[in-house]
A and B are shown apart, each in its own frame.
Chain A
Amino acid sequence: MADSIYQKLKWQLILRLAHRLPSCQALTPLFSESLERPLTFREKILIKLHFFTCEACRRYTAQIEKMGEMVKPQNPESVETLSKVKLSDNARERIKAALESAKKPY
């Protein structure tokens, strides 16, 4: 039972600490910057402490990194085949005409 009181106190302390540290919203820019530049020692500690109590921000950081992998076309063909974006008939004719006149007669 003494154990559980100790545990409770421990969590009280951790939560109190977490409360005094920057919020998730305040730290999200830093999570993004961690993918852009080396963080300072202070920033690293701040993030470590926050991650300790915040699963959501651990996920957030892992997911914005994963997103970078996801958006790279695995297969360049895929963008092409599924794309609903196509040249209009007008543009098609215009560009063809421009290419025809640019073509040098051999």
Chain B
Amino acid sequence: MTSTAPSDPIEWFELYGDYLFAFAQRRVREQTAAEDLVQETFLAAIQSNNSYAGKSSEKTWLTGILKHKIYDYFKKNNRQSDLTAEEADLSGYNYMFERKDEWDGHWNNKYAPADWDNANPLRNVEEGEFQIVFGSCLENLPERIANAFVMREVDDLSSAEICGVLQISTNNYWTMMHRARLHLRRCIEVNWFTSAAPTGENLQNG
């Protein structure tokens, strides 16, 4: 066994299997589907062993293969191009803008964006615990909307690419991103930042 080119797929699997599964699971909620995608990734890696010329790390290379498998999976599974009624429903966020005075529709002071600059994270930044918070906040969004956000902000895809993968119109994409941001901003504020509320009110889970 050479140390420069570990070409044994089982060895790759032991090294990167869990990582790739976690990567897939963040994007594909159905567990067996995520497992299958990981398996397909390694099978594809075996077949195209030659194309790995050490340009990137093995892990980056494998992640790249997996990413494309995931996007293909999305394409196959997104036949309807319109937002479902459930996906388009923003009424669950009305509470942030409900006021008893004549300013109804403006931020309710209780839920208005807090000052993040003077707030400390609730958990350990160094250990990257933010990713755990982010992951659980994503889970409360409809899957396609979470996927759109991850592709946009984590994977750095263009809006045209995302619309192609999810088979949606640009307008639907904007709606998805708006809902994702409205939800995630609040969820991250409540679960990541402490003493973020300038008035010291008791923050509950949005």
Contact = CB atoms under 8 A, between A and B. Distances in A.
Interface stretch (A6-14, A41-49, A78-86): A78-86
Contact of A103 (B9, B25, B103, B178): B9
Contacts of B182: 28, 32
Contacts of A59: 112-116
A73 B131 CA distance: 8
A88 B181 CA distance: 32
Interface string B83-111: 00000000000101100001111110000
B13 interface: yes
A40 to B, nearest CB: 14
A52 interface: no
Contact size range, B = 35 or more
A4 interface: no
B35 A36 contact: no
A96 B59 CA distance: 18
Contacts of A82: 127-129, 131-132
B105 A29 contact: no
Interface of B: 9-10, 13, 17-19, 21-23, 25-26, 35, 38-39, 42-43, 46-47, 59, 94, 96-97, 102-107, 112-116, 127-132, 134, 150, 152-154, 159, 173-175, 177-178, 181-182, 184-185, 188-189
Closest 6 CB pairs of A and B: A78-B128, A23-B105, A25-B97, A59-B113, A83-B22, A32-B178
Interface of A: 19, 23-26, 28-29, 32-33, 35-37, 54, 56-57, 59-60, 63-64, 66-68, 70-76, 78-88, 91-92, 94-96, 98-100, 102-103
